[in-house]
Amino acid sequence: MIGYVMVGTNDIARAAAFYDSLLAGMGAKRFMEEESFIAWANNPEQAGFCITKPFDKQAATVGNGVMVALALDSPASVNSMHAKALSLGAKDEGAPGPRGDSGFYAGYFRDLDGNKLNFFCMEQK
Protein backbone atom coordinates (compact mmCIF):
# COMPACT_ATOMS: atom_id res chain seq x y z
CA MET A 1 0.00 0.00 0.00
CA ILE A 2 2.76 2.50 0.82
CA GLY A 3 4.76 3.61 -2.22
CA TYR A 4 7.39 5.69 -0.41
CA VAL A 5 7.93 7.89 2.62
CA MET A 6 9.70 11.24 2.40
CA VAL A 7 11.29 13.39 5.10
CA GLY A 8 12.67 16.88 4.73
CA THR A 9 16.26 17.99 5.15
CA ASN A 10 18.11 21.30 5.04
CA ASP A 11 21.43 19.61 4.19
CA ILE A 12 21.16 17.00 1.43
CA ALA A 13 24.83 15.97 1.59
CA ARG A 14 24.78 15.40 5.36
CA ALA A 15 21.46 13.54 5.28
CA ALA A 16 22.59 11.46 2.27
CA ALA A 17 25.76 10.34 4.06
CA PHE A 18 23.72 9.40 7.16
CA TYR A 19 21.13 7.39 5.20
CA ASP A 20 23.64 5.80 2.81
CA SER A 21 25.40 4.31 5.81
CA LEU A 22 22.32 3.54 7.90
CA LEU A 23 20.11 2.02 5.21
CA ALA A 24 22.95 -0.09 3.81
CA GLY A 25 22.51 -2.12 7.00
CA MET A 26 19.07 -3.10 5.66
CA GLY A 27 20.39 -3.83 2.16
CA ALA A 28 18.85 -0.63 0.74
CA LYS A 29 20.57 1.34 -2.01
CA ARG A 30 19.92 4.61 -3.80
CA PHE A 31 17.64 4.07 -6.76
CA MET A 32 16.62 7.62 -7.68
CA GLU A 33 18.49 10.88 -7.23
CA GLU A 34 18.23 14.53 -8.22
CA GLU A 35 19.90 17.66 -6.87
CA SER A 36 17.37 18.09 -4.06
CA PHE A 37 16.01 14.54 -3.67
CA ILE A 38 17.36 11.03 -3.00
CA ALA A 39 15.42 7.76 -2.69
CA TRP A 40 16.55 4.39 -1.30
CA ALA A 41 14.94 0.95 -1.47
CA ASN A 42 15.77 -2.72 -1.29
CA ASN A 43 13.97 -3.12 -4.61
CA PRO A 44 12.69 -0.19 -6.73
CA GLU A 45 9.35 -1.99 -7.06
CA GLN A 46 8.83 -1.96 -3.27
CA ALA A 47 8.24 0.93 -0.88
CA GLY A 48 11.10 3.41 -0.69
CA PHE A 49 12.50 5.98 1.72
CA CYS A 50 13.36 9.48 0.51
CA ILE A 51 14.91 12.73 1.67
CA THR A 52 14.22 16.07 0.03
CA LYS A 53 14.73 19.78 0.30
CA PRO A 54 11.21 21.28 0.48
CA PHE A 55 9.73 22.24 -2.89
CA ASP A 56 8.52 25.60 -1.53
CA LYS A 57 12.15 26.60 -0.77
CA GLN A 58 11.26 27.09 2.91
CA ALA A 59 13.27 25.43 5.68
CA ALA A 60 12.53 21.76 6.32
CA THR A 61 10.91 21.27 9.71
CA VAL A 62 9.98 18.19 11.70
CA GLY A 63 6.31 17.19 11.69
CA ASN A 64 5.13 16.74 15.26
CA GLY A 65 3.57 13.28 15.53
CA VAL A 66 4.99 12.12 12.19
CA MET A 67 7.15 8.99 12.25
CA VAL A 68 8.58 6.60 9.69
CA ALA A 69 8.69 2.91 10.67
CA LEU A 70 11.26 0.67 8.94
CA ALA A 71 10.51 -3.07 9.12
CA LEU A 72 13.18 -5.61 10.03
CA ASP A 73 13.11 -9.36 10.57
CA SER A 74 14.15 -9.81 14.22
CA PRO A 75 14.75 -8.10 17.55
CA ALA A 76 18.50 -8.60 17.00
CA SER A 77 18.25 -6.64 13.73
CA VAL A 78 16.27 -3.89 15.47
CA ASN A 79 18.92 -3.68 18.21
CA SER A 80 21.75 -3.57 15.67
CA MET A 81 20.19 -0.97 13.37
CA HIS A 82 19.09 1.26 16.27
CA ALA A 83 22.67 1.17 17.62
CA LYS A 84 23.99 2.00 14.14
CA ALA A 85 21.66 5.01 13.87
CA LEU A 86 22.93 6.31 17.22
CA SER A 87 26.55 5.72 16.19
CA LEU A 88 25.91 7.87 13.10
CA GLY A 89 24.70 10.77 15.25
CA ALA A 90 20.98 10.04 15.65
CA LYS A 91 19.32 10.81 18.98
CA ASP A 92 17.64 8.03 20.98
CA GLU A 93 13.84 8.38 21.27
CA GLY A 94 13.19 5.01 22.90
CA ALA A 95 15.55 2.09 23.37
CA PRO A 96 14.80 -1.14 21.51
CA GLY A 97 12.43 -3.46 23.32
CA PRO A 98 8.95 -4.97 23.34
CA ARG A 99 6.01 -2.59 23.33
CA GLY A 100 2.87 -4.04 24.88
CA ASP A 101 2.08 -7.74 24.62
CA SER A 102 1.35 -7.97 20.89
CA GLY A 103 4.85 -9.08 19.85
CA PHE A 104 5.72 -5.59 18.58
CA TYR A 105 9.44 -4.86 19.14
CA ALA A 106 10.85 -1.44 18.26
CA GLY A 107 13.65 1.08 18.78
CA TYR A 108 13.03 4.78 18.11
CA PHE A 109 15.41 7.57 17.06
CA ARG A 110 15.60 11.02 15.50
CA ASP A 111 17.84 11.52 12.48
CA LEU A 112 20.28 14.41 12.03
CA ASP A 113 17.43 16.73 10.96
CA GLY A 114 15.16 15.73 13.87
CA ASN A 115 12.84 13.45 11.88
CA LYS A 116 11.48 10.59 14.03
CA LEU A 117 11.94 7.03 12.80
CA ASN A 118 11.90 3.56 14.25
CA PHE A 119 13.10 0.11 13.38
CA PHE A 120 10.59 -2.59 14.29
CA CYS A 121 9.66 -6.23 13.89
CA MET A 122 6.85 -8.50 14.99
CA GLU A 123 8.20 -11.22 17.27
CA GLN A 124 6.88 -14.73 16.80
CA LYS A 125 4.92 -15.93 19.82
Could you report the per-residue pLDDT of 23-51, keeping only the tens digit for each? 999 999 999 999 999 999 998 788 999 99
Average pLDDT, integer, range 72-97? 97
CATH no. of 4-53+67-122: 3.10.180.10
pLDDT digits (tens, 9 = 90+) for 103-121: 999 999 999 999 999 999 9
How many helices (H) and strands (E) would you count in the chain? Answer: 2, 8
User: Considering the entire predicted model, what is its pTM?
Assistant: 0.87
- Domain positions in the chain: 4-53+67-122
Check if the beta carbon of residue 106 is closer than 8 Å to that of residue 119: yes
